[in-house]
Chains A and B, each alone.
Chain A
Amino acid sequence: MDTLVEFLVSAAILVGGVFALIGSIGLARLPDFYLRLHGPTKATTLGVGGTIFASLLFFSWQEQGLRLQELLIVLFLFITAPVSAHMLAKAAMHRQLRHREDTRGRPWKQ
């Protein structure tokens, strides 16, 4: 039982770390702002989600009881991340940031 929990905690940490890193790689290498915007929403959802799942599991196991405090962080991030992405996108459109030539469709005038 202990090894199984330890394995799950380790796996969740690694999954979370890998997705946080991939989100940030996207932020660093994608060519225009609108594409980069896709990075952070990923880092939030699975990156933090993975580490928090690991933490939930780890402390529940340590204390032999359910401990769900960290779920609040995930809940809060799930509510706020789309809002900040939306506001940043609006800001970018307002400033008429250039987007890649082959982007289909046009952003709206603000």
Chain B
Amino acid sequence: MRRLLPFPMLSLLLWLSWLLLNGFSWGHGLLGLVLAVVLPLGTRPFWPNVPHLRNFPKLVRFVLVVHWDIITANVAVARLILRSPRKLRPAFVELPLDLEDDFAITLLTSTISLTPGTVSADVSEDHRTLLIHTLDMEDEAALVAQIKQRYERPLKEIFEC
């Protein structure tokens, strides 16, 4: 099973996007299934370390939390943009990473960029530190703690026991 489906989640995602693109029917279901098996097998060499999903319910919870944050933070940032730019307190912040898996780090940087108010700008060579630019920062320690608690810890639980 593991040989045939090295990335079950990727296969599921491919299958669902195929069905969304072409409409739900038996024929496309079958064709999509073939593609969902063949494509991950063909791209296997591009993934040096396979990320292991350990906790699916946590992933669902994480996705919901991120969506909620995107909506609420968007409103907050809209207010920041519309008032005088002089009142903004921009900052570059360095976030020490606890995550080790590359895929989990990618997810964390994407999450940070998607939630408005913060954009991840760079990852250090050794994948230990993340450079973040914030639109309006009150307290550096509080921001780092918030990102760690809200996004990094769930990701750690999802991907690395």
Contact with A along B61-105 (1 / 0, CB 8 A): 000000000110010011001100100111111100000000000
Interface of A is mostly: helix
- B91:A72 contact, CB within 8 angstroms: no
Give CA–CA (A89, B85) in the complex, Å: 20
Which residues of chain A are within 8 angstroms of B121 by Cβ–Cβ distance?
34, 86, 89-90, 93, 107-108
Q: What 10 additional pairs, Cβ within 8 angstroms, besides A37-B119, A37-B133?
A: A19-B74, A41-B114, A75-B17, A78-B114, A85-B119, A90-B121, A102-B90, A103-B91, A105-B92, A107-B122
Give CA–CA (A41, B117) in the complex, Å: 9
Contact with A along B115-129 (1 / 0, CB 8 A): 011011110100000
Contacts A30-B81, A34-B133, A42-B77; is A104 near B92 (CB within 8 Å)? yes
Name the distance in Å between A11's Cβ and chain B's nearest Cβ.
Answer: 14
Contact with B along A11-53 (1 / 0, CB 8 A): 0000000010011011001111011011101100110000000
Which residues of chain A are within 8 angstroms of B90 by Cβ–Cβ distance?
32, 34-35, 99-100, 102-104
Q: B residues touching A (Cβ–Cβ < 8 Å)?
A: 17, 20-21, 70-71, 74, 77-78, 81-82, 85, 88-94, 109-114, 116-117, 119-122, 124, 131, 133, 135, 137, 140
- B74:A46 contact, CB within 8 angstroms: yes
Partner of A82, one of B74, B110, B137: B110
- B71:A46 contact, CB within 8 angstroms: yes
Write 29 A-B pairs (CB below 8 A) sorted by A numbering.
A19-B74, A25-B82, A26-B81, A29-B81, A34-B121, A35-B90, A35-B135, A37-B119, A38-B81, A41-B119, A46-B74, A68-B20, A69-B20, A79-B110, A81-B114, A82-B114, A82-B120, A85-B120, A86-B120, A89-B133, A90-B121, A99-B90, A102-B89, A102-B90, A103-B91, A104-B91, A106-B92, A107-B92, A107-B131
